[in-house]
Structure 1
Amino acid sequence: MMDRRKLLMSVAAGGALAAVGPVRALAQTAAAPAAGAASAQFLALLDKIAQEMILSDPETLTMLGMDRGPMAQARFKLSDRSQAKVDADKVKFTDAMKAVKAIDRKALGTDEQVYYDTLEFFGDTVMDGYRFPYGGGFSPSPYVVSQLGGAYQQIPDFLDSQHRLDTPDDAEAYLSRLSDFAKGLDDERARMQAEFAAGAVPPDFVIDRTLTQMGAITGTPAADSVMTRSLARRTAANNIPGEWAAKAQAILTNEVYPAIQRQADALKAVRPNATHDGGVWRLPDGEAYYRFGLKYYTTSSMTPDEVHQMGLEQVAEISARTDALLKAQGMTQGSVGARVAALGKDPRFLYPNTDAAKEELIKELNAQMVAIQARMPEYFGRLPKSPCDIKRVPVAIEAGAPGGYYQSPALDGSRPGAYYINLRDTAEWPKWTLPTLTYHEAVPGHHFQIALQQEKPDTPLLMKVMGFSAYSEGWGLYAEQLADEIGAYENDPFGQIGYLQSLMFRAARLVVDSGLHHKRWSREQGIRYMVDTLGDQESSIATEVERYCVWPGQASSYKVGHTTWVRLREDAKRRLGARFDIKGFHDTGLNLGGVPLTVLERAMNAWTPA
């Protein structure tokens, strides 16, 4: 899912909002005249946090569509990736959380108490992370650079998909950012080497995957780079004259490619002594680091053993449901995983691995999204204003990227939401798996949840962009379940099998995430368990398991969140009986914005008093 995770890290690490003037104008956060002193003080503090954080993060300004007008100079810079910036942000964040704690929560209004509880949980969790000598403290990823993280992996797509090119000034800003890209790479290299010295060397397979992706970038002639071609294509389309492509090639050749190579050389230097163990248990205080990761991502107090057991139980339950559906289609022989694997290889359900077929696949996804969108007024009182595009993961990063992820709309409406699908190999996406992906990433999943959060009026900007994986990913799985409940698979038994496989996939993540980081499973053990359980292709499962190795705890957030959303709905039905209203449940839960599960539960219990 997109990049919501990266956006959240930007918020915490020094990047998310805008100056007080733009914050108030855009988010309409000024306290009402009748608001109490504590509420006014707290709302002013939220604006102050927003002001201090966003001004230091130009990339987030661009992501939010706020790099125009008084913030236009942000277009010429990328985020500061130096250790000095990390240290300065730590001081700012610590001071901000002290100021939050000084507010009298009991004197706040209902909405402000939700904001308070959300910030308090986030702040307390981040403080837990500060004690580790790696990972930056703001999120549980112990490696600055990996196959899923680092400027080399993020910036080419950022420049292509988010940096606007409407004027000559925008083109100059693009070139300036290309130069800044090289500096950010060197700053990251220094932090990466400090992490190595602290004992946080990535496992050998992560280094290898990262080097492959770096080589794909530097091995592409600068003239053919996505960064050059994007600049050339879009300046031509907007009639912006100039030798932009030639200038971009020069910067890539003389500055960016050498900086990527320096990162690659630093990784190669530690590769001979890198371990093959992927779990963070092998890092200094690694078991505690995994508990930090679970708390951060699941926003719960679940232990690693509880997570592992939940996964085993849910895999067994969902597997039994899948077995029944497979038998109904005449597939009776072999394990559930083996039968699903056979279904995944059935030529009836496979697109050719060609560009034309990939375009057809995306066209079909759009049709599915339009069809489910038509049903949404029956189940939601509020609907997003922003549309959602469906795009292919850029070829340059598809080897190590997740199967699908979501990108938020710009706050000013200048860019729609988008979900990306990884089409490195269409065999990884049998047709019966695709509807569920759409329901998870777009409608009524991530796009609904995040666009509604951003579009909610009278909300502090900080709360428009905060997010928690268990809440959002749990909602994504709940959205898959809702689609099934309203009949999306009524005439599509294979699509329903795809839906159950998706749920089982997330349940298996609980097992493998805790297996890798707590029970000391090997990469291969994790891959074997998921392939045998799910029937997925080993190539796609390998990148999944490698992902869990660099984001400890994140893979567990999905099913923990989903289980909570479903339990809260069933609790509400039991308490309200005939008064239960599905629109009210959805609107109340999504109206909170991105919050920890503890805050979600408190709010939903208040909506359904006993």
Structure 2
Amino acid sequence: MTPFDLTRRDALASLTLAGAAAALPAGAAPAPASAPTSASTMLDALAWRLLELDPPTATRLGVDTGAHADLRARLEDRSEAGVARTRAFLTRSIAALDRVPRAGLDAATTTSLAVTRSAFDTAREGMALPYGVATIGGWRNTPYAVVQNVGAWLDVPQMLDGDQPVATAADARAYLARLRATPRQLDDETARIRAARGRGLVPPAFLLDKTIASMARTIPTADRIDGPFVGPLARKGAALGGDWPARAAAVARREIVPALERQLAELKAQRAVATAAPGMGVRPDGERWYAWGLRAGTTTRRTPAEIHALGRAQLVELHARMEPILRGFGLTQGSIAERAIALQKRPEIGFPDGDEGRRQIVAYMQGKIDALRPRLPRAFRRLVKGNLEIRRMPLAQEAGAPAAYGGPGSLDGSVPGKVWVNLGDPSIHNRVTIPDLVFHEGIPGHVWQGEYAQEMPLIRSILAFNPYSEGWALYAEQLADELGMYDDDPAGRLGYLMGFCWRAARLVIDTGLHAMGWTRERALAEFVAATGLPLSNAESEVDRYCSWPGQACGYKLGQIEITAQRARAERELGKAYDLRDFDQAVLEGGNVPLDVLAGNVDRYIAAARG
């Protein structure tokens, strides 16, 4: 049993740590006898306080049990006052972290302290901005509290569907409690976007159009037994019997629907004054917000101009690698993008329309994961389970969502990790685009990396850094290629390179939109020309960059850094280098900012030298 196992066990079981967490906002925790114990106690206390602030994360991790079972019935406070209280907690916590003696700490604890402080400091800066949502160790930072892919109107149904257990009557009561808390969360968000409108901030008109249309479709289904708010309870709690679904439907009808209607009315008021301008540069305090968004999204201080130029250079290199593959398919005329699009239109590359096509897409994804699993020992010294299922996204989310996303399940393994796939328009998926997508989101990408993270102290399972997690997922695509997954699949290899182009294009387009005054139309044209992906993909992607400024830049920057660190390890270690050990060091160092990643690789190199 490792020290991390002991920390996790204590974190889950100890009432004294829960008490420390509750007391921490009022001042620093008392200093225990030794520095390592002091650091570990503080980190665990901070973790539980974070879960108090964000109870749905406790449910996602599966730790809302025992002394913490009340978390299963609660939602986070999304009001302006709630944000102010959270920021005050962060300020006090940073001061407490700075007082922890570092002498005598092991490398893992030192890393955890650095990671926690970095996440808290970045979130505190974001919460000082005049509007928007700043997450603590998360990636959904946005200037808009409600838009096509942001807000309780989406988050609550997805959490209820994907994470909320309904095995007992107590679970069903907790489910109903969260439903009853939903109207306040919706109204708090409505108040925040109304206040933002008063400051002159509204989302672009095209984002509001998507949001309004999706919410208008959601409202009539909100109280249906098979709808987004009631359906998960009806399905998962079918064996309980009783009138739980009817009670949930009544809450949805009487309380949630009116709150949704109030929010929809505010969105329509925003649409009346919205413009088509997509970027932050034309919005009040937009340059300041984007500078923070880039820092949060990349954990670097690179300027928009530097990031833009790097993306352009990456695209030139990747297009050169795509050329011979396209020629192998007999496609010799036209641009890289035009030929990639032409290949995807071939009947043998796509799937049928409708539900049969959706079924085949999921089966094809599963087949790729099954084929990869036996090859994993060539890339990793120690294997986790890779507990994974592939699920369709909630219908209300599909219009504003990317092609797929994924993450690990609960800490105890009872809830598997998921790849949520957007099947609203099955034509966005084909045999070119699917393999890299499922390796990125599933194994050895997000789900795989997340299971290693869950072995760490609780706070490290909560905090995440976009360029590490997304950089790892891109690096996972690279590993799949190196493990031979495309040796007999040139269409899949083309898709893999297209995926890298996609992430390189993000560097160009995100900075183009928010720092260089691009129109949405120019961003769409640049995306299609760079990637060869369909226009429907381009629209979803570009609209996402508009709603989460800076986030999309973390992917390629993270992968570039991991690959650079691997090349450094190979140079410095020579024959002592082993891919399995490098990958293990990157994974077991946990989710970290990019400068901390370099330090973790330093320690791996030193250990490998003996």
Scaled by the length of structure 2, the TM-score of the pair is 0.91
- The aligned amino acid for 2:154 is Q
Question: Partners in 2 of 1:163 and 1:429 — Cα distance?
Answer: 29
Cα RMSD (Å) of the superposition? 2.0
Question: Partners in 1 of 2:173 and 2:112 — Cα distance?
Answer: 39
After superposition, what is the alpha-carbon deviation per residue over 1:289-311, rounded to whole angstroms, capped at 9, x for unaligned?
A: 21211111111121100100000
After superposition, what is the alpha-carbon deviation per residue over 1:542-579, rounded to whole angstroms, capped at 9, x for unaligned?
A: 11101101111111000000100111111111111111
After superposition, what is the alpha-carbon deviation per residue over 1:457-514, rounded to whole angstroms, capped at 9, x for unaligned?
A: xx42101221111001111111111111121111111111011000001000110000
- The aligned amino acid for 1:208 is D
Q: Residue 226 of structure 1 is aligned with which of 228, 233, 243?
A: 228
- Other-structure match for 2:4: none
- The aligned amino acid for 1:145 is V
- Other-structure match for 1:345: 345
Matched-pair contact (CA < 8 Å) for 2:358–2:426: yes
Aligned residues: 580
Higher mean C-alpha displacement, 473-482 vs 96-105: 96-105
- Other-structure match for 2:8: none
- Other-structure match for 2:562: 565
Unaligned runs of 5+ in 2: 1-10, 19-31
Question: How many angstroms does 1:378 deviate by?
Answer: 1.8
> What SS class does the counterpart of residue 349 from structure 1 fall into?
coil
User: Identity over aligned residues, as a percent?
Assistant: 38
Q: Residue 531 of structure 1 is aligned with which of 528, 532, 535?
A: 528
- Other-structure match for 1:5: none
Higher mean C-alpha displacement, 196-205 vs 250-259: 196-205
Pairing 1:105-504 to 2, within 5 Å after superposition: 105-138=102-135, 140-220=141-221, 222-223=223-224, 224-236=226-238, 238=239, 240-455=240-455, 459-504=456-501
> What SS class does the counterpart of residue 432 from structure 1 fall into?
coil
Q: Cα–Cα, structure 1 residues 426 and 137, in superposed 2: closer, same or farther, change >3 Å?
A: closer
Question: Partners in 1 of 2:48 and 2:227 — Cα distance?
Answer: 36
Question: How many angstroms does 1:23 deviate by?
Answer: 6.5
- The aligned amino acid for 1:57 is D
Q: Cα–Cα, structure 1 residues 150 and 569, in superposed 2: closer, same or farther, change >3 Å?
A: same
> What SS class does the counterpart of residue 312 from structure 2 fall into?
helix
Question: Partners in 1 of 2:212 and 2:165 — Cα distance?
Answer: 30
Higher mean C-alpha displacement, 362-371 vs 35-44: 35-44
> What SS class does the counterpart of residue 488 from structure 2 fall into?
coil
> What SS class does the counterpart of residue 221 from structure 2 fall into?
coil
Q: Whose RCO is larger (CA < 8 A, sep 6+)?
A: 1
> What SS class does the counterpart of residue 405 from structure 2 fall into?
strand
Q: Cα–Cα, structure 1 residues 477 and 322, in superposed 2: closer, same or farther, change >3 Å?
A: same
Question: How many angstroms does 1:385 deviate by?
Answer: 2.8
Matched-pair contact (CA < 8 Å) for 1:278–1:523: yes
Matched-pair contact (CA < 8 Å) for 1:18–1:51: no
> What SS class does the counterpart of residue 390 from structure 1 fall into?
strand
Unaligned runs of 5+ in 1: 1-16, 25-34
Q: Cα–Cα, structure 1 residues 119 and 175, in superposed 2: closer, same or farther, change >3 Å?
A: closer
Q: Cα–Cα, structure 1 residues 22 and 564, in superposed 2: closer, same or farther, change >3 Å?
A: farther
Scaled by the length of structure 1, the TM-score of the pair is 0.91
- Other-structure match for 1:42: 39
Q: Cα–Cα, structure 1 residues 173 and 127, in superposed 2: closer, same or farther, change >3 Å?
A: closer
Q: Cα–Cα, structure 1 residues 535 and 479, in superposed 2: closer, same or farther, change >3 Å?
A: same
After superposition, what is the alpha-carbon deviation per residue over 1:273-318, rounded to whole angstroms, capped at 9, x for unaligned?
A: 1121111112223222212111111111211001000000001110
Q: Cα–Cα, structure 1 residues 287 and 106, in superposed 2: closer, same or farther, change >3 Å?
A: farther
- The aligned amino acid for 1:159 is L
Question: How many angstroms does 1:124 deviate by?
Answer: 3.0
Question: Partners in 2 of 1:76 and 1:579 — Cα distance?
Answer: 52
After superposition, what is the alpha-carbon deviation per residue over 1:49-72, rounded to whole angstroms, capped at 9, x for unaligned?
A: 123222233212211112222222
- The aligned amino acid for 1:158 is M
Question: How many angstroms does 1:241 deviate by?
Answer: 1.7
Matched-pair contact (CA < 8 Å) for 1:19–1:51: no
Q: Cα–Cα, structure 1 residues 309 and 174, in superposed 2: closer, same or farther, change >3 Å?
A: same
> What SS class does the counterpart of residue 433 from structure 2 fall into?
helix
Question: Partners in 2 of 1:282 and 1:76 — Cα distance?
Answer: 41
Question: Partners in 1 of 2:483 and 2:418 — Cα distance?
Answer: 24
Matched-pair contact (CA < 8 Å) for 2:406–2:419: yes
- Other-structure match for 1:591: 588
Matched-pair contact (CA < 8 Å) for 2:60–2:410: yes
Question: How many angstroms does 1:19 deviate by?
Answer: 8.2
Question: Partners in 2 of 1:373 and 1:493 — Cα distance?
Answer: 20
Poorly superposed stretches of 4+, deviation over 6 Å? none
Matched-pair contact (CA < 8 Å) for 1:287–1:518: yes
- The aligned amino acid for 2:434 is L
- Other-structure match for 1:13: none
